[in-house]
Amino acid sequence: QLQLVESGGGLVQPGGSLRLSCAASGFTLDYYAIGWFRQAPGKEREGVSCISSRDGSTYYADSVKGRFTISRENAKNTVYLQMNSLKREDTAVYYCAAMTPLLFRLCVLRPEIGRADYWGQGTQVTVSS
């Protein structure tokens, strides 16, 4: 019933941009915080960014600050991740996920932590020349 579907991944050159989308169904973004996470081959999953369900406040891991922007359109039940100035080290499978207040608080405190409650299937982002 609760479902998250990511899209927008692909191949991009270093310095390029991509926008990822996360379409939610079975629930409304008015009631869940949403985060973006990523996992590169051989590495642990890490948090990228999250956005509040209440006031839209946003939080970013240090690795993406100034380059990535998370946003939401509650009327469309969709969350976005605009990724600019992409680096090779950004290559990963990117996931969106819904989080309850406990894990959202963890994101607020430490956005790089890769924990959430309900996960999408992921979309591949490859940054390569």
Q: How many CB atoms lie within 10 A of CB 52?
A: 15
Report pLDDT for 73: 92
* Residue owning tokens 């990511």: 6
Report pLDDT for 29: 78
Query: What's the whole-number average pLDDT of the chain?
Result: 95
Report pLDDT for 31: 82
Report pLDDT for 30: 79
